Amino acid sequence: MINSFLHKVKLALGDAEIRFRILFVVGALAIFRLLAAIPIPGVDKAALAQFFASNQFFGLLNIFSGGGLAHLSIVMLGVGPYITASIVMQLATIVFPQVKEAYFEDGEAGRAKFIEWSRLLTIPIAVLQAIGFLFLLQNQHVIGHLSTVALIANIAIVTAGSLLLMWIGELVTEFGIGNGVSLIILAGILASVPASISQSLFAASAANIPAYLGFIILAAAMIYAVVVVSDAERSIPIAYARAVRGAAMAQGAATYLPIRLLQAGVIPIIFALSLLLIPQMALSMLSTLHVSFAQGAALWYTAFLSNPWQYGAIYFALVVLFTYFYTAVTFEPKRVAENLQKTGAFVPGVRPGRETEEYINNVVNRVTLPGACFLGLLAVSPSIIQGLTGVTTLVLGGTALLIAVQVILDLVNKIDAQVSLREY
């Protein structure tokens, strides 16, 4: 196995095109990390550090910003607006028949149009998120009071930074290897690891060594669980009818329909974070406008998010609900059953058509339950690990771990595919 791995590495580095793609990814991610280190004007670093230390919720948002939010950099929004726009467009395929027709039936031209609409939708979403974050941070005294001109300038800078990252991510997807947006998020996650480890080693003492050992064991167990669950699937057997050709009868082929345990990926976590973030942004904007009830409500909601038990319970429930919702939106048993029937395929022991649709729907619902609970546990795992080990300086984020494992597995598979293509 080691010899095979070394052979593939040698082929990958020896091929000029693969080497260019790898270097392109490295260069793009280096530019992203440089941008993430440039803060917006007027940031109080001490107040910022205290704000993130007391609010685990914004630590999760920092994951999807690629690490830029923790420094209030010019790319503090990260690729979050683009991800949100893509999700909205996927939901639009259910609500608007024209969008559904463009995405599913117009081929590559329809998908190109779908991506173009996602890019355009990213602009207003980025502007709204920039306004909401700046008002919120101003109310928390993380940044000073902004004049109208300074506010507009910061909104323009932050929005442009998000659009720049979107462009870099698409360039990586086209000219590099892997999904560019996912790699940007992965780079932000990995960039925070050395600082977190050094902080933990600095704060370590002989008294809490057992807690750190327990943390390492839990971390290894979580990594193993994420790797297993990421590849887990329920296979529905599919058979094809026998074809009669003259006097001969050809045996029908047999295959299977894979139903992934994590059918929705990390999208439900993004939904839950967005739903929890919207009230705080709205209340912060209203309190800035001196609406009477908004300031008290904003303080109450901030205290609610700071309570790990209340916040964790609501967060877990939202992730489970959104997992079912997003799976129902993106996976259509009726369409699958119709496609099977058109191609002469069937599930053994199940009648084609309506019964096949109900059977697939039941399997998806049963498989989604453990996947949804696993996602929910990953989402609240930082609070659980803090409670079990008492370690607060080094927190294993289940969401970050899930993203890192899935992106790395996808990247390895795509590099392996490129190498295999050259071998043949």
pLDDT at 245 over 70: no
pLDDT at 254 over 50: yes
Q: Report the pLDDT value the prediction gives residue 123, as an integer from 0 to 100.
A: 92
Q: Are residues 175 and 59 in the same domain?
A: yes
Q: Are residues 167 and 209 in the same domain?
A: no
Mean pLDDT of 80-100: 79
CA distance 285 to 274: 16
CA distance 330 to 253: 28
Of the chain, the end-to-end C-alpha distance in Å amounts to 20
Mean pLDDT of 362-383: 85
pLDDT at 252 over 60: no
Q: Are residues 193 and 209 in the same domain?
A: no
pLDDT at 331 over 70: yes
Q: Are residues 285 and 160 in the same domain?
A: no
Return the beta strands (E) in 309-422 as ranges: 345-346
CA distance 100 to 213: 51
Tokens of 25: 């990814």
Q: Are residues 331 and 377 in the same domain?
A: yes
Q: Are residues 117 and 236 in the same domain?
A: no
Binning pLDDT at 50, 70 and 90, where does residue 264 land?
confident
Q: Cα dist. 44→21, 51, 135, 145, 319 in Å?
A: 39, 11, 15, 12, 33
Tokens of 288: 């800035």
Buried b (16+ CB within 10 A) or exposed e, 327-341: bbbebbbeebbeebe
What's the whole-model pTM score? Answer: 0.75
Highest mean pLDDT among 163-172, 254-263, 339-348: 163-172
CA distance 385 to 396: 8
Q: Are residues 175 and 276 in the same domain?
A: no
pLDDT at 394 over 60: no
Strand order in the sheet with 254-260: 254-260, 233-240, 345-346
Q: Are residues 170 and 213 in the same domain?
A: no
Q: Are residues 210 and 176 in the same domain?
A: no
pLDDT at 244 over 50: no
Domain's final residue, options 142, 171, 201: 201
Q: Report the pLDDT value the prediction gives residue 406, as an integer from 0 to 100.
A: 78
Q: Quick one: what percent of the chain has pLDDT higher than 70? A: 77
Binning pLDDT at 50, 70 and 90, where does residue 54 land?
low
Q: Are residues 369 and 295 in the same domain?
A: yes
Which range (227-231, 255-259, 400-404) has the least confidence? 400-404
Nearest to 305 by CA among 51, 7, 44: 51
Mean pLDDT of 148-154: 86
CA distance 80 to 155: 15
CA distance 383 to 381: 5
At 292-304, the pLDDT tens digits run 777 777 777 777 7
Please state, rounded to an integer, the average pLDDT across all residues of the chain: 77
CA distance 352 to 364: 17
Q: Are residues 169 and 285 in the same domain?
A: no
Binning pLDDT at 50, 70 and 90, where does residue 171 land?
very high
Which range (204-213, 226-235, 335-344, 371-380) has the least confidence? 204-213
CA distance 360 to 337: 8
Binning pLDDT at 50, 70 and 90, where does residue 248 land?
very low
Highest mean pLDDT among 22-31, 41-50, 70-79: 22-31
Mean pLDDT of 180-197: 78
Q: Which domain holds residue 120?
A: 1-201
User: Which residues does 74 contact at the CB level (< 8 Å), separation at least 6?
Assistant: 35, 38, 39, 40, 68, 157, 158, 160, 161
Dihedral angle computed from the Cα positions of residues 325, 330, 336 and 339, in that order, rounded to the nearest 10 degrees: 150
Number of structural domains, the chain? 2
Q: Report the pLDDT value the prediction gives residue 212, as an integer from 0 to 100.
A: 67
Q: Are residues 136 and 243 in the same domain?
A: no
Contact predicate 52/59, CB 8 Å: yes
The CATH number that applies at residue 373 is: 1.10.3370.10
Contact predicate 411/417, CB 8 Å: no
The residues that bridge with 257 in the sheet, in sequence order, are: 236
Residue with token string 């992106």? 407
- Containing 257, the helix (H) or strand (E) segment is strand 254-260
Contact predicate 333/357, CB 8 Å: yes
Look at 200 and 364; give whichever has higher pLDDT. 364
Domain's final residue, options 170, 201, 232: 201
Q: What share of the chain is helix, strand, coil (3-state, %, to 5)?
A: 75, 5, 20
- The C-alpha R_g of the chain, in whole angstroms, comes to 24
Tokens of 237: 């057997």
Binning pLDDT at 50, 70 and 90, where does residue 163 land?
very high
Tokens of 389: 């080990």
Q: What angle do CA 299, 155, 28 make, to 5 degrees?
A: 110
Tokens of 30: 């280096």
Domain's final residue, options 201, 218, 252: 201
